[in-house]
Structure formats: structure tokens, C-alpha cells
Amino acid sequence: MSGRAFALALGVLVACDRGKVEEPAAVPAAAPTASSSPVALSTKLARPAPERLVAIGDLHGDLDHARRALRLAGAIDANDRWTGGRLVVVQAGDEIDRGDDDRAILDLVEDLKRQATAAGGELVALLGNHEIMNASLDFRYVTAGSFAAFPAAPGDEAGVPGMSAQQRGRAAAFAPGGAYAAMLARRPLVAEVGDSVFVHGGVLPKHVAYGLGRMNDQVDDWLLGKQHAAPAVVTAEDGPVWTRAYSGEDGEPDCADLTRALAALRAKRMVVGHTVQHRGVNSACGGAVWRIDVGLSHFFGGPIEAVEIRGDSVTVLREGAPADR
């Protein structure tokens, strides 16, 4: 990786360890400006409703539980072959960190994306805050096993200065312009499938006003090394990968903002991850938001659950429960 690409990565680098509490990089929030057409999403962000749609929450470096969730969805068999046909699966981001299987999960998802497309289905993997953190070279939640899966190559030390020997390979892969950063650039921040909006943290009215397509394009340019930093509206504490406005377990969700955002996007519901739901998948605001991060990785010890959407019907899928597909 070039020195320029490394310099671009430092645009939102978090240089200190803030302990166990996840925090976004300290970037000043940009005042959103009105998009000329906030509801006109590109084909990368929007697609028509399929007959069957399944959403899976945060995976956090646990390959075994990721496979179990995909099998629960009816997407794959025991040999990681796509068996979902025209099924559409949306994974809500945070595939990485906290577990040892980051690279294996990322590679599996990319392979399944190709298999799904060939079968007439689709696997949509969203960006979460942990993908953004790694591209910012914020490795606070990376395990020793996941560092080891990205061994340093000759030249990584020069291309990514200031990294320890353990960190160099991962830094070269995830820093803007790196191979895995380029992979992440193919993943959207927000996806609208039929009348459902999927996002890691949440879409606020200010994000719609800023322009979801504009925001997505700016993140892509940053990941590809074409822009010096991710847009502040994304990395801010209330950015779409960070906000818990609709998912916090300790208070009431902001149903008023949710209603405004959904109306602007002409959608019926929002499906979010990011915040572990200790009572399992649940909904709020009269079914306008579904919270699907159940902490299914070994790190959190949660159940294997997902959400199935067929038309106006939303069903919680639970591992071990009778299937009705």
C-alpha cells in the first residue's frame, strides 16, 4: 500500500484505546444539506421486494454462528452452498471484531454473494460501525486470532508506518485503498428492499436530508482511497452506523423521527442492528422498527435468530423452532 493510501486512512484514525465502550472517532459533525432528491436511491441501495426476505444481525467474528444463522434463513447447506434460490438475505453489518473469524466470514459472504446472484437471489451485506472502525485503523476490538489471519507481506511496514508487527497485515488490508477496504466499498450503508429499510444503526431525518446516495458515494470514495476521510455525518455519534435512537433498551425509541424518516423514504419499516437485544428480536413504534442484533456471536452468547419478511408479514425465526417456509 502506498504512503498516500495510509495517509488517507488517518483521516478518522482513533489513536487511543477508550476501553470497553465503543465510541465513534472524534470527528466534528457536518451540518446536513438537503439532497435534491432524497428518496431517489440508486440500484446499489434499493431493489424491489422479493417473495421472501430474511435479515440477520451482527456476526462479530463468529463463523460457526454465522453459518447457523444463514442455515436458519434457508440460505445455505452444510457445505456453504447457496440453497436459497431467489431468497434475498440482508446482513446488518458488524461481521467483524470481537471474534477470531473475521477474514473467514468476510470471504464466505463474498463467495455467497456470487452464488446467490447466480441462483437469482441476493445477499446484501451492509457496513456497520466496526467495518468503518477497521478502515479507520481502529483495532480496539480485534482479537489475536483475527490479527493472525492477516499476516504482513513484504512492504507493508513501509506502506503502513506506525503499526506493530501484529497489526501491519490487517492495516494494509483495511486501510483505504487496501484489498479489504475495496471489498467494503462494494457494500452499502443503507439498503431499501421493497418497503423495508435496512441499516446498521438507524436512518434519521437528517441523514435523508443529507442524501443517502451522496453519503454512500462519499464512504465508497474514502474506502477506495479517493477521499481523505469518511464523511462526518457517518462517523458522528448519531451517524447511521452509530445511532441507537431506535434500538436502545434503556429508553423509549424516537418514534417521531422514525416516522419522519420512513415517510421521506416512502417505506413501512426500518430494520436495525448495532444494539444487542437481550430479549431477542423485537419491534417497537407499532412495528415500524425491528431490532435484530441478538448478540448471536460467542462473545455475547445470544441466541441464533433472524427476521423473515413476506409482503406485510414479519416473522421471527429462531434456531430450534419449527420452520414454516
Kindly list the catalytic residues.
130
Backbone angles phi, psi at 23, to 5 degrees: -135, 145
CA distance 219 to 210: 13
Q: Are 257 and 288 in contact (CB under 8 A)?
A: no
Q: Grid coordinates standing for 192?
A: 431499501
SS3 per-residue string spanning 143-185: CHHHHHCCCCCCCHHHHCCCCCCCCHHHHHHHCCCCHHHHHHH
Residues 62-96 as b or e (16 or more Cβ within 10 Å = b): bbebbbebbbbbbbbeeeeebbbeebbbbbbbbbb
Residues 290-325 as b or e (16 or more Cβ within 10 Å = b): bbbbbbbbbbbebebbbbbbeeeebebbbeeeeeee
Judged on CB neighbours under 10 Å (0-12, 13-18, 19+), 159 is buried
CA distance 157 to 171: 10
CA distance 291 to 299: 19
